[in-house]
Structure 1
Amino acid sequence: MEFQQLEERLRSIETLLLSQKTVLNFDEAASYTGLSKSYLYKLTSGAQICHYKPQGKHIYFNKIELDHWLQRNPVTPINADEIEQQAATYVALKNMGRAKS
């Protein structure tokens, strides 16, 4: 087996193991979320993301809380018919406002 294939399989195994943990350290949380370490640190220092410091130095994250944080502010897809309807409603309301003036 090639070295590159072995590295790829190792990364895959690490990802599977990471998904089984409930508490992640800082590096694991950055890897899990796909956020850069500097941005994740900025979020923790600004108290914008839930984290734990049991001994005051090392930062830990609850995986379920990270999942909730990642899934905040959902964007629901809108199909073309809905966009047309919303546009028509907006124009109609706008024209009604002008007619009253």
Structure 2
Amino acid sequence: MTQAELDKLAAAISDSITICQKEVLTLDEAAHYTGMKKSSLYKLTSARLLPHSKPNGKYCFFNRKALEEWMMSNPVATTAELNGLAQAYCMKKKTSL
């Protein structure tokens, strides 16, 4: 690798570490952090589905922890979990007959 490539890689790593340590993120940082496009974030904020703040009514700011909670807000059960729930349901219904 050339020195320019190494410098670019070091800058990208530094930016990623900085974003992970910040509490409040800008739209660009939130897009980088979540891996989503800025247009998707704008759509979610305009629909009031994504927690954000607009202190001056213009720029969007995001709480990093609130973004993490939002990203993990709709967990999908694994097959093993579903099978366990189905077995528990069947056992409960069988004993109550």
Same fold (TM over 0.5): yes
Q: Taking structure 2 as the reference length, what is the TM-score of the superposition?
A: 0.77
Aligned to 1:65: 66
Unaligned 5+ segments in structure 2 are 91-97
Inter-partner Cα distance in structure 1 for 2:34 and 2:62: 11
Inter-partner Cα distance in structure 1 for 2:59 and 2:18: 21
Aligned to 2:13: 12
| Shift in Å, 1:10 | 1.2
- 1:1-101 correspondence to structure 2 within 5 Å: 2=2, 3-79=4-80, 83=83, 86=86
Larger radius of gyration: 1
- Could you say what secondary structure the match of 1:74 adopts? coil
> How many positions carry a matched residue from both structures?
88
Name segments (4+ residues, structure 1) moved above 3 Å. none
| Shift in Å, 1:9 | 1.8
Inter-partner Cα distance in structure 1 for 2:32 and 2:59: 16
Inter-partner Cα distance in structure 2 for 1:15 and 1:25: 13
RMSD of Structure 2 on Structure 1 (CA): 2.4
| Shift in Å, 1:76 | 2.9
Identity percentage of aligned residues? 38
Q: Taking structure 1 as the reference length, what is the TM-score of the superposition?
A: 0.74
Unaligned 5+ segments in structure 1 are 90-101
| Shift in Å, 1:47 | 0.6
| Shift in Å, 1:11 | 0.6
| Shift in Å, 1:6 | 2.1
Aligned to 2:95: none
Inter-partner Cα distance in structure 1 for 2:7 and 2:47: 39
